[in-house]
Structure 1
């Protein structure tokens, strides 16, 4: 038994897994994921509601986007749609000032993700005037989420899986490079983008088997609050994957590939 334990510990250290665990602890991964979920709920969700309401294709609105992203179907999707759906005249009642406010506060989410990436790659925090990068990233992410929501009407099955995987990897690959100011090589960032997308696929499967029945039972037991709590839990998972995927990619480059030696 002792020999097996020593073998396991030796393998753990040779793999460098202890370093990954320490880096996750130093990054405060769970705390950041919870912050991501909070920002996404109070800033990104209202912004996406406005975008979905302005969608000229009018394919179900924000609630259907959210249900599709969480992998919900059947009764759970209907429950979420009934509770989350915004008023039909949301665009007409949204003032210009309100729209600008949503965009400004939405940038805070981009800043949080940027700071997380900088901590992962041990870079100095970006200067305040680089807030334009966060704004551009938010616009790109909104476009990515819109494309992802619309893809279900274009293709299905294996075709949609391939399209979603490709666009997801490209977005998270570009997103890291852009938010970090181009100081990390493309080749070093690719493992993190792939790990992030793989994690989101796993989260979608988890959501399908766990959150699908939980949405219904929470709606019956706690009403709208119970459904929002499930959505918030899912968003925490998304934040964990976004930061954890980038961290795993950095660890793979650091311990099982070429070390970063500067920009291109």
Structure 2
């Protein structure tokens, strides 16, 4: 009986030590910070605001250049990275570019712009939580206007520039522009309170996450759009787009969080490797 008790105590002590090691590791710190960030809830809010603000705004903006632009529906289908058949399902949800401008009112644009600024506030709040910063002052709201304008311009440019993402030059240009945009987005929304070099890993991690989301869309969302369109009609396609926006929110906030972890952990790893290297180079009599 005593041996069983001591064995159970030994296993409990081993698990406790293992738990402390994991908790102190970068993985443990990242898990705690993602819990504090409430990543899933923020991503759901990102998807909701993005769908009711960015989608109508981008439909209007893409309609401004119907001859050279590809239209929002076609751009969204390519952004999802789904098959041709699924893109056709997406295009059926939206009006043609010429019709959007004719049916848009000034009041509607003002309301969409107001909700768009709320979307910028949500993204800024997530970035501030990632870096444990207090909310910005009220007079810094102009940053949301600038950020929203650049975001719409960036997405409009990606819908009108004819570089194909399948080509090497197109993939490089798209990846570089994404890194630059998310790098700048963190800087302006955080009000310059975090240095440029600290924000770069987050921009790169976000870009890599979007590439992974594109592959996931091709494997999962593409057949899901086709099946949901048959089962639920257009509503099924809307549900898939909404879930894709949730994934984009996870990538945006999760990429910033991974970037902070990389910024903090890489110097520690480098210092630890240097100490081990110096210890290995020491002569036996000096040890």
* Superposed pair shares fold, TM > 0.5: yes
Are 1:171 and 2:181 an aligned pair? yes
Comparing 123-132 with 79-88, which one deviates more in the overlay? 79-88
Contact 1:151 1:160 in 2 (8 A): no
Paired position in structure 1 for 2:105: 95
Q: CA deviation at 1:108?
A: 0.8
1:93-113 CA-partner distances (Å, limit 9, x unpaired): 211221122112111111100
| Distance apart, 1:88 and its partner CA | 3.5
Query: Highest CA radius of gyration, 1 or 2?
Result: 2
Judged with a 3 Å threshold, the aligned counterparts in structure 2 of structure 1 residues 146 and 87 are, in CA distance, closer, same or farther, namely: closer
Match runs of 1:54-203 below 5 Å: 54-86=64-96, 88-153=98-163, 156-203=166-213
Q: Which residue of 2 aligns with 1:251?
A: 261
Q: Flag the 1:169–1:230 CA change in 2: closer, same or farther, 3 A.
A: same
Q: What CA distance in whole angstroms lies between the structure 1 residues aligned with 2:211 and 2:162?
A: 16
User: What is the CA–CA distance in structure 2 between the aligned matches of 1:248 and 1:68, rounded to whole Å?
Assistant: 27
Q: Which residue of structure 2 lines up, in the alignment, with residue 205 of structure 1?
A: 215
- In the TM superposition, what is the alpha-carbon distance from 1:156 to its structure 2 partner? 4.5
Pick from 226, 232, 237 the counterpart of residue 236 of structure 2: 226
Rounded Cα–Cα distance in structure 2 between residues aligned with 1:15 and 1:76: 42
Indicate the larger mover: 98-107 or 87-96. Answer: 87-96
For structure 2, which runs of at least 5 residues remain unmatched after alignment? 1-10, 269-287
Deviation of the 1:6 alpha carbon: 8.8
2:32 to 10, 14, 22: 22
CA distance in 2, matches of 1:87, 1:145: 16
8 Å Cα contact 2:56/2:112 also seen in 1? yes
Deviation at 1:14, TM superposition (A): 5.7
Compared CA separation, residues 11 and 147, structure 1 to 2 (3 A): farther
Separation (CA, whole Å) in 1 of partners of 2:93 and 2:267: 47
CA RMSD, 1 decimal? 2.3
Give 5+ residue unaligned stretches, structure 1. 259-264
The answer (yes or no) to whether the contact 2:74–2:91 under 8 Å persists in 1 is: yes
- Report how many aligned residue pairs link the two structures: 258
Does the aligned pair in 2 maintain the 1:68–1:149 contact within 8 Å? no
